Structure 1
Amino acid sequence: MSGSRRRRAPPEREYVPGALLDWNDSGHWDYERAEPCRYCKVPTQLRDSKGSHAHKTCAEEALAQQAAEAADAYQNGQP
């Protein structure tokens, strides 16, 4: 048996704002203070999964951009 396996291409999905992340848990809310979003620098009380202040839409746009870059790298054969 060979050690290499054929990888499947990532699914092609279009980004729909507001539909990627589920932030219904209260852990995504900072009850103490609003601080600048890590992406756009506008104050927010929302926190991402790592505890950094971030708007949900900003975090989704960043994830969509990362996914697009990874898909592009995959198509071009880069690791």
Structure 2
Amino acid sequence: MTGRKRRRAPPAEPAYVPGQLLDWRDSSHWDYDGPRPCRYCEQPTQLRDSHGSHAHKVCAEDALTQQARDAQAAYHQNGPR
């Protein structure tokens, strides 16, 4: 006799704390040639994201958080496909 499988509850969303989402300790995230404008806020930075674009760590984390919110909203609006 087989019973119905119980579905797991969705994981609770972790609280977002600025500065703790991305790990940029690797030297590949530093541009030794000098500061360039951040792709998000246009302020100068020597940091680079994983694609090699200049970006502040906090700006990149905020963008990722917004993308996750947009994806979640789209999922709830349209449902899974």
TM class by smaller structure = 0.7 to 0.9
Specify whether residues 29 and 49 from structure 1 end up closer, same or farther in structure 2 by C-alpha distance, changes over 3 A only: same
**Higher Cα radius of gyration:** 2
CA contact (8 A) 1:10 1:71 kept: no
Pairing 1:21–2:33 present: no
- Letter in structure 2 aligned against 1:24: R
SS of equivalent residue, structure 2 residue 32: coil
SS of equivalent residue, structure 1 residue 76: helix
Q: How many residues align?
A: 73
Deviation at 1:27, TM superposition (A): 0.1
Match of 1:58 in 2: 59
Higher relative contact order (CA 8 A, sep 6+): 1
Specify whether residues 77 and 21 from structure 1 end up closer, same or farther in structure 2 by C-alpha distance, changes over 3 A only: same
2: CA distance between counterparts of 1:13 and 1:76? Answer: 22
CA contact (8 A) 1:37 1:55 kept: yes
Specify whether residues 50 and 21 from structure 1 end up closer, same or farther in structure 2 by C-alpha distance, changes over 3 A only: same
For structure 2, the 5+ residue unaligned runs are 1-8
For structure 1, the 5+ residue unaligned runs are 1-7
